[in-house]
């Protein structure tokens, strides 16, 4: 994994897992819909920042993948932000078609749990 091309000011802020990755959450830029979670290393983040397309690191295949290259369901970058700890990246994207590998629009709509709903005090 070549981290040399990521701006050092960004690279220095990242807190990576032991295998060099940060969580990347994709969100539809205009509706706020949370689409998916994937993983990035420095090179994937660099490619994302410089190409306008979401690029991730596949932990199972051990290779980079540009979202939509094989499925046609591209993610076009609108904004990228680091969280306050530097251990997660938020990609605000324009999603074409399904974001989830199952063919669903989002990865978060098929296994909804039933929590006790909390109410904030008055």
Q: Which whole-number Å values give the CA distances from 107 to 4, 5, 27, 77, 101, in the listed order?
A: 32, 31, 11, 18, 8
| C-alpha–C-alpha distance, residues 8 and 114, integer Å | 43
| C-alpha–C-alpha distance, residues 92 and 30, integer Å | 8
User: What pLDDT score was predicted for residue 7?
Assistant: 87
- Tens of pLDDT, residue by residue over 38-58, are 999 999 999 999 999 999 999
Using the predicted structure, report yes or no on whether residue 1 has a pLDDT greater than 60: no
| C-alpha–C-alpha distance, residues 112 and 120, integer Å | 22
pTM: 0.87
The architecture (CATH level 2) of 8-95 comes to: Roll (3.10)
User: What pLDDT score was predicted for residue 4?
Assistant: 55
Number of separate helices (H) and strands (E) present in the chain: 2, 6
- Tens of pLDDT, residue by residue over 70-113, are 899 999 999 999 999 989 899 999 999 999 988 899 999 888 88
User: What pLDDT score was predicted for residue 93?
Assistant: 98
User: What pLDDT score was predicted for residue 37?
Assistant: 97
91 with 26: CB under 8 angstroms? yes
Residue spans of the domains in the chain: they are 8-95
Nearest to 90 by CA among 25, 44, 41: 25
Using the predicted structure, report yes or no on whether residue 27 has a pLDDT greater than 90: yes
């Amino acid at each position: 994994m070549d981290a040399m091309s990521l701006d050092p000011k960004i690279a220095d802020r990242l807190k990576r897992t032991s295998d060099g990755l940060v969580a990347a959450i994709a969100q539809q830029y205009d509706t706020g819909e949370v689409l998916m979670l994937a993983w990035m290393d420095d090179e994937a983040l660099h490619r994302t920042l410089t190409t306008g397309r979401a690029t991730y690191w596949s932990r199972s295949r051990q290779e980079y993948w540009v979202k939509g290259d094989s499925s046609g369901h591209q993610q076009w970058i609108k904004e990228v932000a680091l969280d306050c700890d530097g251990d997660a990246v938020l990609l605000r994207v324009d999603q074409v078609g399904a974001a989830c590998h199952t063919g669903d629009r989002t990865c978060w709509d098929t296994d909804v749990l039933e929590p006790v709903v909390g109410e904030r005090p008055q």
